[in-house]
Amino acid sequence: MEWLWLLVLLLVVLGVLGMALPALPGVPLLFAGLLLGAWIDDFVLVSVTT
C-alpha cells in the first residue's frame, strides 16, 4: 500500500511541475494525485464538508 502513497506523491509533484511546464498536464495530474490520496485514506480527511 505504501507504493500507492509514492504514486500520489509523484502525481502531485508532476502536477505542480505541470503548472509551469507546458508539456505536462498539470491540473489533471494534480487532481488525480489528490483523488488517489483521498481514495487510499477512504475519504476520511477529504469529504463533502471540507
**Averaged confidence pLDDT in the chain:** 90
* pLDDT score recorded for residue 17: 96
pLDDT of the residue at 13: 96
Extents of the domains making up the chain: 2-19+26-40
- Listed in sequence order, the DSSP H helices in 1-50 are 2-18, 26-40
Q: State pLDDT tens for residues 18-45.
A: 999 989 999 999 999 999 999 999 888 8
CB 12 within 8 A of CB 30: yes
Listed in sequence order, the residues at least 6 apart from 19 whose beta carbon sits closer than 8 Å to its beta carbon are 26, 27, 30
CA distance 10 to 12: 6
Contact 11, 29 (CB under 8 A): yes
Per the CB < 8 A criterion, the answer to whether 18 and 25 are in contact is yes
- Give the pLDDT of residue 37: 93
